Structure formats: C-alpha cells, structure tokens
Amino acid sequence: MTDVKLASQTPEIRPGQSIELLKELHILTRDGKMNQDSRRKLKQVYHLYQFIEPLMQQVLQERSEIRLVDHGAGKSYLGFILYDLFFKSLAGPSRIYGIETRDELVRKSEELAARLDFPGMSFLNLSVAESALSDLLPAEVDIVTALHACNTATDDAIHFGLKKKARFMVLVPCCQAEVASVLKKNKGKTLTKSALTEIWRHPLHTREFGSQVTNVLRCLQLEAHGYQVNVTELVGWEHSMKNELIIATYQDLPRKRPSERLQEVLATLGLEEMTGRFFTAQC
C-alpha cells in the first residue's frame, strides 16, 4: 500500500505527515497498520503538539525563523514530530537542535534526519550545562523544551533558557529528589519551628512534598526573571507519572515580588542551601 493511500485510509494521519517517521516512532507498524494502542500514542503526540504549535506561530509573527532547542532529547521523538508537522513546510533557516549526552542516540537521530530529508535538524552530543557554553548553538533562541530530562537537566534547561533569552520554555519536570533530600536532612532542625513541618515529616510525604516544592521554586524562579508561567497537566501522557507541564512566556513582568517570595519559601522550608540553584543575581 502506498503512503498516500495509507494516509487517506487512516484519518488520524495528517496530510503530508511522514509515514516512515510514524513507523520509526512505532506509531505505525512496519506494514503500516495502526492498532488501538497506536491510536492512543498518536493522540498523545497531537496533544503535546497543540501546546507548542501556538508558541511557534507567535515566534513567526515576530521574526522569520524559529530556533528551538530540545534538551535531554533522547531519540528526539519530540523534535522529529515538531519538524514533520510544522518546520518542514517553512521557508528559511528555522532549526531544531536536539541536545543529548548519549552518542549512539545522537548518531541514530542524525541518520534518521538524513533519511527523512529533514535538513533543519541538528543533534549535539552535549549535556544541557555544556550546551549553554557551546558555540554550536546560537547566542539567543526562541523556544526551549525539556521533557523528562534526567538528573539536574530540567534546572539546567531553565538556566540555558535564561542565558539564551528564550521567548518560551516548555518543561515537563523530572528528577525532583534533591529538594526532598535537603528537607529530610534538615527535618530535625525544622520540626520545632512550625507545625507546617508536619507536611513533610513522614518519608512518603517528604518525597511527594519535595517534588511539589521543586516545581513551585522553578516557577518562582522563572517569574523572578520576568516570565509569565502557566502550569497544567500533560493530559494523555499516560505512560509517565511525571505529568506536570510548565509553559513560561517572557513578558518582562515585574520581578520583585516573585523574587521575594522565592527567598521566603526557601527560608521557611529550611532550603537556604539551595538558594544558588533557584535564585541568581539576574533576578
């Protein structure tokens, strides 16, 4: 069956969408079939895309090209979908940069982009922190994404976006154990300070509260740099428990109040030692 005929018989596939890419992403089987599980996967893809597509449209209203950097790209699932559905129809030098530390995944992504004739995609074997200093990336970017980036990569992606003056940041946070570990370490000193300490007295609550507080601090950090922040659920991403989506839009908003609140939260919870992670001189 030809790709055109397959697309016409599968209403979920959009006009012009790459059949080969959908097979590579295991949304379509090798013989072009789509089962119920595949339909759920494609629905998830479209749901994620609908958050990012309006941001790309806004960038194009302000400039003639888009510079998007995807951190912790892995197999560059997100980057390929964005390119296929949006970038490949653009004229000009718009580009997606996939940042990934695993060299074998970078090489595979490069090979797939060449095979699909997606010339506006670059893949760099760098950590998120290294990418902020690399001359392989532009001095300023438009959109930063980081979906389930591991270890400290979510925070590094925020620092990257701040350094590169990103217009938008789209983050699905991951690896929030560090704040929980500090809460646990200082629990003995804080138990007598306030009844609020009961919120994280038990180990399970420490972990859950630490995760929540981490993302609250990230949002305050972004607001303290002039961003408008919206937090929602990434509905449809059923295969992951990390289902929080943070979308930050630079609006040059007043910084004083969120900066003060950020410092106050850190002090109230006994997290002063993490000030350098969430609070910088740029605030």
Sole residue written with tokens 């302000």: 62
Measuring CA to CA, which residue among 134, 56, 49 is closest to residue 99?
Answer: 134
CATH code of the domain containing 219: 3.40.50.150
Q: What is the pLDDT of residue 191?
A: 60
CA 251 vs CA 5, 166, 170, 228, 229: distances in Å:
46, 11, 15, 6, 10
Q: Is 251 part of any domain?
A: yes
Q: What is the pLDDT of residue 253?
A: 95
Q: Is 32 part of any domain?
A: no
Total number of domains constituting the chain: 1
Residue 144's domain spans which residues? 42-278
Secondary structure class of 122 (helix, strand, coil): strand
Q: What is the pLDDT of residue 25?
A: 82
d(CA 241, CA 234) in angstroms, rounded, equals 10
Secondary structure class of 162 (helix, strand, coil): helix
Sole residue written with tokens 């428990």: 241
Predicted TM-score (pTM) of the model is 0.88
Q: What is the pLDDT of residue 176?
A: 64
Residue spans of beta strands (DSSP E) within 127-243 = 143-147, 168-172, 227-233
Q: Is 167 part of any domain?
A: yes
Contacts of 72 (CB under 8 A, 6+ apart): 99, 100, 128, 146, 147, 148, 149, 150, 153, 157
Q: Is 28 part of any domain?
A: no
Q: Is 36 part of any domain?
A: no
Type of residue found at 136: L
Q: What is the pLDDT of residue 221?
A: 96
Q: Is 154 part of any domain?
A: yes
Mean pLDDT by 10 residues, the chain (283 residues): 53 82 84 76 80 96 95 90 94 94 96 96 94 95 87 85 96 78 76 75 85 91 97 65 85 95 90 82 52
Q: Is 204 part of any domain?
A: yes
Secondary structure class of 182 (helix, strand, coil): helix
Measuring CA to CA, which residue among 143, 173, 148, 172 is closest to residue 249?
Answer: 143
- Gyration radius from the chain CA atoms: 21
d(CA 161, CA 67) in angstroms, rounded, equals 12
Q: Side by side, which strands form the sheet with 227-233? A: 121-125, 95-100, 67-71, 143-147, 168-172, 244-250, 227-233
Q: Is 169 part of any domain?
A: yes
- Residue 178 class from Cβ within 10 Å (0-12 exposed, 13-18 middle, 19+ buried)? middle
